[in-house]
C-alpha cells in the first residue's frame, strides 16, 4: 500500500509540449494565406522537433524540480528524506552554507526556501514554489 500524498508540486505541467506544434500551425497558416508555396511537411517537422525538445525539458523539470510529501518521506527533486529524520520546521534559522535538498547547489529558480532541522541538529534547506503550505503539512507530521 502506498502512502497518501499530503503535499505535491509536479515541477511542470505537460502543456508546454503543445507550444511547438501551435507555432508551427501558425506558421503554416501564414504561408497558406500569403502568396507563394506552402511547406506543410517542413512545418510538421518543425512542430515535431519543438514538441520533442519541450517534452525533454518538461520531463527534466518533473524529475528534478518536483516536491512530494507523504507521511513517511519528503521527496525534493532526486532526494528522498525520511520524515522520521526531521525534528523541527518552525522557527528554524538557515545558517550560511546550509545544504540544499534535492541534489543541487541552490534552490530551483522560482521557489522559496524552507529551513528544516534534522534529528542530528543539521539544518538543511527544503524548497517549494509555495513553501508555507509545505511547512504547514510538515509541521502536522513532525509535531504528532
Residue 1 placed within a domain: no
How confident is the model over 70-107, as pLDDT tens digits? 999 999 999 999 999 999 998 888 888 899 999 888 88
Same domain, yes or no: 74 and 53:
no
Residue 2 placed within a domain: no
Same domain, yes or no: 75 and 35:
no
Least confident interval from 37-51, 60-74, 96-110: 96-110
Alpha-carbon distances, residue 2 vs 5, 26, 64 (angstroms): 9, 45, 22
- Total number of domains in the chain: 2
Query: Cβ(107)–Cβ(127) under 8 Å?
Result: yes
* Rounded Cα gap, residues 83 and 69, in angstroms: 9
Please tell me what DSSP assigns to residue 4: P
Same domain, yes or no: 76 and 138:
yes
Q: What is the pTM of this model?
A: 0.80
Structure confidence at residue 93 (pLDDT): 85
Amino acid at each position: 500500500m502506498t502512502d497518501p500524498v499530503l503535499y505535491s508540486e509536479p515541477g511542470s505541467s505537460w502543456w508546454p509540449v503543445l507550444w511547438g506544434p501551435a507555432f508551427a500551425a501558425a506558421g503554416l497558416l501564414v504561408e497558406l494565406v500569403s502568396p507563394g508555396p506552402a511547406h506543410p511537411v517542413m512545418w510538421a517537422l518543425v512542430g515535431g522537433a519543438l514538441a520533442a525538445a519541450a517534452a525533454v525539458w518538461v520531463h527534466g523539470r518533473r524529475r528534478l524540480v518536483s516536491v512530494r510529501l507523504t507521511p513517511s518521506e519528503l521527496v525534493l527533486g532526486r532526494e528522498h528524506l525520511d520524515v522520521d529524520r526531521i525534528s523541527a520546521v518552525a522557527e528554524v534559522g538557515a545558517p550560511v552554507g546550509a545544504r540544499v535538498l534535492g541534489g543541487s547547489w541552490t534552490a530551483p529558480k522560482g521557489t522559496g526556501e524552507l529551513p528544516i532541522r534534522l534529528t542530528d541538529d543539521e539544518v538543511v534547506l527544503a524548497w517549494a514554489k509555495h513553501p508555507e503550505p509545505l511547512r504547514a503539512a510538515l509541521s502536522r507530521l513532525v509535531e504528532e
